[in-house]
Chains A and B, each alone.
Chain A
């Protein structure tokens, strides 16, 4: 029972490169979220999903795309990375609409040079 996992743990990109971050969960949770964490700014919601096949924008969605083709996976894509996207990215999951507690993954540290 791994809970929430994120791949990769670290990544360095050059400006303009693309990449995909993977969040996987084995808790059968319906809801999944992607956050970014920057110094002094807390966690900000990028995109979220309330179930397989659904996605919605959060507070800071520009420059990112997401997909939830399978219930257990939530992918975050950067099509053309920019230095402003240097951050720590956290995935979180929640059981369903009647729940509130979110469970966080270990994070991915991304540096864009």
Chain B
């Protein structure tokens, strides 16, 4: 089955700096790659996603890049703010078999003032 690895497990940045979280996946058939943000005690919330026919997608301060050849994708957050502090999860999915998501182990992002 699919295996998703996520790095780093913790990331501390100064407010205003950029943050980058990286994930790799194992199944070349995977074609959907979402990123979820989870605040303490809350449910995961989708913040951005990318399909395999697209190399990059941007939404204001958040961007995701995908390298299908290398089987890795990354989340980029620019001009970080304290409210960006949370746990971020990457995931991968492919069509069929329930469109199941396989999650990475998460990155605790802390934005310091």
Q: State the A residues within 8 Å of B (CB).
A: 31, 33, 40-45, 48, 50, 56, 58-59, 90, 94, 97, 99-102, 104-107
Docked Cα-Cα span, A48 to B102, in Å, equals 13
What's the Cα separation between A101 and B33 when bound, in Å? 10
Chain B min CB distance to A74 (Å): 13
Let me know if B105 is at the binding interface, CB within 8 A: yes
* B49 contact from A43, A101, A106, A107, Cβ within 8 A: A101
B interface with A by C-beta (< 8 Å)? 1, 6, 9, 32, 34, 42-46, 49, 89, 93, 95-96, 98-106
Least Cβ–Cβ distance between A59 and chain B, in angstroms: 7
Pick from B1, B44, B93: contact of A43, CB below 8 A. Answer: B44
Q: Are A97 and B100 in contact (CB under 8 A)?
A: no
Interface of chain A: mostly helix, strand, loop or mixed: loop
Q: A56-B98, A97-B95, A107-B43 are in contact. List 16 more A-B contacts (CB 8 A).
A: A40-B106, A42-B103, A42-B104, A45-B100, A45-B102, A48-B98, A50-B98, A58-B100, A59-B1, A90-B43, A94-B99, A97-B99, A99-B99, A100-B99, A101-B49, A102-B34
Query: Per a CB cutoff under 8 Å, which of B34, B98, B104, B105 touches A31?
Result: B98
> Within 8 Å CB of A45, what residues of B?
100-102
Q: A40-B105, A41-B105, A59-B1 are in contact. Are A48 and B100 (CB under 8 A)?
A: yes
Residues in chain B near residue A94, CB distance under 8 A: 99
Check A31/B99 contact, CB under 8 A, given A100-B32, A101-B49.
yes
A90: chain B residues at CB < 8 Å are: 43-44
User: Which residue on A lies nearest to B6, using beta carbons?
Assistant: A42
Residues of A near B104 (CB, < 8 A) are 42
B95 CB to nearest A CB, Å:
8
Report B35 CB to chain A, min CB distance, Å.
Answer: 12
